[in-house]
């Protein structure tokens, strides 16, 4: 039997400590709510842990990331407080094959913007309006078990234009009561890592208790799981005597034998 997928739910955990409304909705933190939802996947159990901004190394040490198959990320108020060295570490693991699920306002996280290479800006409105999430591709694994659409009674509007590179796939498009639409569920691949962005999840509404939202997150974790052995991107020098065909070194050389290349 295959080992359970190892999932880490990361949350800055700022609003829960500073805002009474958010704390009442998510007494265990957004990370705790999402972790509990993932653990309830009895048909296909997951090994789920959590981490927060205020922990040493933000709870994202090399050892922890090396033992993580899929990282879920929720951030909003403290994007700038995430250490750049940790961002580099996470991005390297994604290139190696770790899955990455970015939620709601994590479109502005350092990690997501690094992976996208764009500003990731959008339009928004906080009015508690209804969101209707439409399934674009019913056959996609992330949409498994979801009807043609599902609704979230109160939400924050995210609208186009959304300054992201063209997604590999658009799984969901959301319509809002005020009339806007938004590409609310998109996938990409960077290196060997699969990335899913999912827009619903404003902290002052109980979005992550919605059964359909929880189903999407469980599906996303299974979809984003690594496909194969870890790919280590280390730019090795291949000695001439290890070439597939016999060759003779000719002309001057910048690097000595066995020396690392410039990066």
Query: What pTM was estimated for this model as a whole?
Result: 0.93
CA distance 202 to 25: 11
| pLDDT the model gives residue 217 | 98
Distance between CA atoms of 222 and 169, rounded to whole angstroms?
16
> Tokens for 47?
């090994």
Q: In which element (H, E) is residue 258 found?
A: none
Tokens of 92: 């390297």
At residue 42, the pLDDT reads: 67
Query: Up-side HSE of residue 22: CA atoms within 13 Å toward CB?
Result: 16
- pLDDT tens over the chain, length 263 residues: 578 999 999 999 999 999 999 999 999 999 999 999 999 876 778 999 999 999 999 999 999 999 999 999 999 999 999 999 999 999 999 999 999 999 999 999 999 999 999 999 999 999 999 999 999 999 999 999 999 999 999 999 999 999 999 999 999 999 999 999 999 999 999 999 999 999 999 999 999 999 999 999 999 999 999 987 777 667 788 888 888 999 888 888 888 887 777 76
5 and 18 Cβ atoms separated by less than 8 Å: no
Contact call for residues 73 and 93 (beta carbons, < 8 A): no
The pair of structure tokens assigned to 51 is 């981490």
pLDDT value of position 240: 86
Q: What is the pLDDT of residue 64?
A: 98
Most distant CA pair in the chain, distance: 71
Contact 240, 247 (CB under 8 A): yes
- Do strands 70-74 and 5-11 pair parallel, antiparallel, or not at all (unpaired)? parallel
């Amino acid at each position: 039997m295959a080992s359970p997928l190892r999932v880490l739910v990361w949350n800055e955990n700022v609003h829960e400590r500073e805002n009474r409304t958010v704390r009442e909705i998510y007494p265990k933190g957004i990370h705790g709510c999402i972790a509990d939802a993932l653990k309830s996947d009895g048909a296909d159990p997951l090994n789920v842990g959590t981490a927060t901004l205020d922990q040493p190394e933000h709870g994202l040490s090399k050892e922890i990331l090396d033992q993580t198959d899929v990282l879920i990320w929720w951030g909003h108020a403290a994007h700038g407080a995430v250490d750049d060295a940790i961002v580099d570490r996470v991005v390297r693991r994604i290139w190696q094959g770790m899955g990455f699920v970015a939620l709601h306002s994590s479109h502005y996280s350092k990690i997501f913007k690094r992976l996208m290479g764009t500003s990731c800006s959008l339009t928004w409105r906080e009015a508690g309006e209804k969101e209707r999430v439409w399934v674009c591709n019913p056959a996609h694994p992330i949409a498994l078990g979801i009807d043609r659409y599902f609704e979230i009674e109160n939400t924050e509007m995210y609208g186009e234009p959304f300054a992201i590179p063209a997604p590999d796939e658009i799984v969901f498009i959301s319509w809002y009561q005020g009339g806007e639409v938004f590409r609310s569920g998109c996938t990409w691949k960077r290196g060997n890592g699969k990335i899913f962005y999912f827009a619903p999840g404003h902290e002052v509404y109980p979005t992550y208790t919605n059964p359909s939202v929880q189903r999407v997150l469980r599906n996303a974790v299974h979809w984003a799981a690594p496909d194969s052995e870890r790919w280590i991107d280390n730019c090795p020098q291949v000695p001439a005597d290890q070439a597939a065909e016999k060759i003779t070194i000719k002309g001057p050389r910048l690097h000595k034998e066995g020396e690392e290349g410039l990066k």
